[in-house]
Amino acid sequence: MTTYLRHGRLRRVLFFVPLVALWAVPIAAFVVLAPQADQHEVTALAATQPTTSTVGERAQDFARPVGLEVTLTSGAPVLSPADGTVTQVWAHKGDTLTTGTALAEVNGEPVYAQVGGVPLYREIGKGATGGDVESLCRLLAAKHYYYWASCSKADKNVVRAIKAFQKDHGMKPSGTFSPTWTVYLPNATSEVSAVLIKTGQKIDTTTPLVETGTAMKSVRLVADPTSETSMSDFGDNPVTVNISGKTYALDQAEIPAKVAAQVYRTIRKQVKAGTLVDSASAGMQPGADASGSASESGGSTTSATTTYTGATAQLTTPQTVGTVPGSAVYSAATGTSCVFTVTGSTTGAAALDAARAQPLDTIGMVVGEIGVAAVDGSLIGTPIISDASTLPATTLSTCE
């Protein structure tokens, strides 16, 4: 009897054990997990609080693809500057026409090309001044008679150079230069496509000496039309252009005529090699004749512009710029971009009150670094809010 009662009580106890366990496990789980949940909530809230970083520093050359915009003019006849008899023909098909290119001899006196500048329209002797004197000095320098950088007056050095020029061409060394010894060509680089005179031929000022082919009028650096880069980061600073390993140092996007002639020759070579490509796959090719693709006209010539891609450019002297996380930059609806500076090592909620909008004069990307923006170098070392999106709208609205 006693044994039976003990077994009965044991069965009743065992019956309630699962019920107690079902009740106790959720309570235990709550006791254990609730503090952890609270901690996660605190951590999540803390993550949204503003954090700060310091504006870094990089040497930035803004290397990027660029376009080479070439404007070409169609061919035109080059007329004789004098009447008389052709005594020698110096020009050859394929000659590049630059200042000092020898064309012919008329009545025993030379005729040279003068490209750009003020035309030589009068006799120039001792004491003469003006733009045509500068043009004459460039011609004499091209023929190795004049060795000074420039001139605006026909001084003794200029007169001495004129006399040496006259003597070498079998003329009396009077020291006075005649305008009939040059023929003026526009500020362009072209080639002789045909020689139109013969020795012994009688000619006058309406007689063409040679015919020119397509001429290079200008070469400019422009943004690469096949990429999203711009030229704005270069500003007015000198840049170095690389065309398939050939480099040119330039002071401005509009390439000076003398350098443009060299650049154009490189462009022609690289177009043939396939390393430079016409961005529109159309238009006049360097060295080809103009044929109806003209964008503007003037007299008997037309001009067309083509942009070639495949070149790169960078600042000749790299600039020191500030660097910030891309998330630190806020762009307002007005178009103004800002970072938000703070004082010292302010972090967390205190940074909300300390943040001050700092408009950016310049902003760009850091080449080779994802998620990093280039900003004004004057901000280097300044503490800023790392992520502008953590700031309240009232603070963001001060970016204007």
32 in a structural domain: no
Mean local confidence (pLDDT), 229-241: 86
Residue 366 confidence (pLDDT)? 80
285: which DSSP letter?
A: P
Residues 252 and 176 in one domain: no
65 Cβ partners below 8 Å, 6+ apart?
224, 226, 227, 229, 309, 310, 311, 312
Average pLDDT over residues 380-385: 92
Whether residue 180 is found in the same domain as residue 239: no
Residues 169 and 192 in one domain: yes
CATH at 372: 2.40.420.20
Phi, psi of 126 (to 5 degrees): -55, 130
In a domain? residue 24 = no
What tokens does 235 get?
């500003």
Q: And the tokens for 314?
A: 């960078």
Closest CA to 116 of 216, 263, 208: 216
Rg of the chain on CA atoms, in Å: 39
Residue range 163-169: average pLDDT? Answer: 97
Lowest-confidence segment of 21-30, 134-143, 155-164, 204-213 by average pLDDT: 21-30
321 DSSP β-pair partners: 58
Beta bridge partners of 183: 113
Chain segment 252-291, per-residue pLDDT in tens: 777 887 788 889 889 989 999 999 998 775 344 444 433 3
- Let me know: does 95 contact 82? Beta carbons within 8 Å: no
Question: Helix or strand or coil: residue 327?
Answer: helix
30-34, 209-213, 368-372: the lowest-pLDDT one: 30-34
**229, 169: one domain:** no
Count the neighbouring beta carbons within 10 Å of the beta carbon of residue 92.
Answer: 10
Would 26 be classed as within a structural domain? no
Six token digits for residue 215: 């001429």
Instruction: For residues 196 and 290, state if they share a domain.
Output: no
Mean pLDDT of 109-136: 95
- Is residue 12 one of the residues assigned to a domain? no
216: pLDDT confidence band, cut at 50, 70 and 90? Answer: confident
| Overall number of domains in the chain | 3
Distance of alpha carbon 68 from alpha carbon 219, whole angstroms: 7
Residue 297 binned pLDDT confidence (cut-offs 50, 70, 90)? very low
One domain for residues 148 and 134: yes
- Asked if residue 158 belongs to a domain, the reply is yes
Other CB atoms within 10 A of residue 43 CB = 9
Nearest to 306 by CA among 320, 325, 323, 290: 290
Nearest in space to 221 (alpha carbons), one of 244, 246, 248? 248
The last residue of a domain, from among 197, 212, 227: 212
Domain holding 125, by residue range, is 77-212
- Give residue for tokens 């003020």: 118
Is residue 121 assigned to a domain?
yes
Angle between helices 131-142 and 156-168 (to 10 degrees): 50
List C-alpha distances in Å: 160 to 66, 125, 282, 333: 46, 10, 51, 68
Q: Give me 87's structure tokens.
A: 């005594």
> In this predicted model, which residue has the larger pLDDT, 277 or 35?
277
Of 289, 315, 341, which residue is a domain's last? 315
Cα 376 → chain centroid: 20
Angstrom CA distances, 267 to 227, 283, 360, stand at: 20, 15, 38
Q: Are 339 and 356 in contact (CB under 8 A)?
A: no
Length of the chain as a residue count: 400
Phi and psi at residue 387, to the nearest 5° = -135, 105
Q: Does residue 371 sit in helix, strand or coil?
A: coil
Same domain? For 221 and 238 the reply is yes
383: amino acid identity, one letter: P
CATH label of the domain that carries residue 200: 1.10.101.10
Rounded Cα–Cα distance for residues 223 and 311 (Å): 11
Sign of the Cα torsion 267, 272, 276, 282 reads positive
Question: 234 with 208, same domain?
Answer: no
Least confident window among 100-104, 228-232, 318-322: 228-232
And the tokens for 157?
A: 């050095």
Query: Tell me: the pLDDT tens digits for 299-320?
Result: 455 778 999 999 999 999 998 9
10 burial (CB, 10 Å; 0-12 / 13-18 / 19+) is exposed
Evaluate whether residue 199 is within a structural domain.
Answer: yes
In-domain check, residue 37: no
Query: For residue 333, which amino acid is it?
Result: A
Closest CA to 375 of 62, 57, 61, 52: 57
Last residue of a domain, one of 315, 333, 348: 315
